[in-house]
Amino acid sequence: MERVLLPILLALALLSGCRGTPGQSRHEGAAAPKDSTAVRAPFVPEFSATEIPPGVEARMRGVSYPEDARVPLADLRYLRLSYYDFEGNPQTGEMVCNAAIARDLCEIFRDLYDARYPIRSIRLIDDFGASDEASMQADNTSCFNYRTMTGQKKLSRHALGMAIDINPLENPFIDPRGGVHPAEGASYVDRTRDFPHKIDRGDLCYKLFREHGFSWGGAWSRSKDYQHFQK
Ligand SMILES: [Zn+2]
């Protein structure tokens, strides 16, 4: 066996030594050139929930988490969730939610990831100065934000980290007076129309959230909140 292999290996070594680009000398021992063919580390998806790390708490205090917030920080969880963006690239985003739904969200987002369900972005609302409007305009998926309901004084389910908004631009909130939030989502109000990233009863998001016991804002009667799932 070895007698046959050795000549073959020698021949291969000689051949590979001849593969240099013509005109270029081979510099033995020189560092490998940094070119686009370099192997990149494989993407490792994450679906984790931890207590709020100090660095994240610092970002939240006085922004999504005001001093008078009536939900203890210990009741909230910091999630790292992987997803496929609209260009089909895997990404890992950040989310804060109530501990009571952390496991649901990790399971749901793992299923969405496995199905390559497209999500524009998943960033903390603090990156938008806790502005729900700015986050929606950016089509950002988010959960916790200590705020009142849009146009009302009552605390939102988002204030407890028990509600999540998905791809809000294509799935706007339509208040009882017909106002569209975000306003940029006006062209997506007609739900009889077919367009990408629409959440309806045939959508995977709808199916998974319902399976985990969430209700959908698109089923409300007085207003319609197509982006919204809550428990
Ligand atoms: Zn919402």
Going from the Cα of 163 to the center of ligand 1, the distance in angstroms, rounded, reads 6
**d(C-alpha 122, C-alpha 21), whole Å:** 45
Nearby residues for ligand 1 (ion, Cβ within 5 Å):
163, 165, 228
Q: Which two tokens stand for residue 31?
A: 């560092």
Mean pLDDT for 131-152 is 93
Q: Decide if pLDDT at 153 tops 50.
A: yes
Mean pLDDT of the chain: 88
Residue 129's Cβ-side half-sphere holds a number of Cα atoms within 13 Å equal to: 3
Going from the Cα of 164 to the center of ligand 1, the distance in angstroms, rounded, reads 5
Residue 158: count other Cβ atoms within 10 Å of its Cβ: 25
pLDDT computed for residue 34 by the predictor: 57
pLDDT computed for residue 184 by the predictor: 97
User: Collapsing DSSP states into helix, strand and coil, what is residue 77?
Assistant: strand
Going from the Cα of 228 to the center of ligand 1, the distance in angstroms, rounded, reads 4
Q: Decide if pLDDT at 104 tops 90.
A: yes
Going from the Cα of 1 to the center of ligand 1, the distance in angstroms, rounded, reads 69
**d(C-alpha 124, C-alpha 11), whole Å:** 58
Q: Decide if pLDDT at 111 tops 60.
A: yes
Using alpha carbons, select from 190, 188, 141 the residue that is nearest to residue 166. 141
Mean pLDDT for 176-198 is 97
Going from the Cα of 35 to the center of ligand 1, the distance in angstroms, rounded, reads 45
Q: Decide if pLDDT at 227 tops 70.
A: yes
Mean pLDDT for 3-11 is 43
Q: Decide if pLDDT at 225 tops 70.
A: yes
**d(C-alpha 57, C-alpha 78), whole Å:** 10
Going from the Cα of 74 to the center of ligand 1, the distance in angstroms, rounded, reads 22
Going from the Cα of 64 to the center of ligand 1, the distance in angstroms, rounded, reads 14
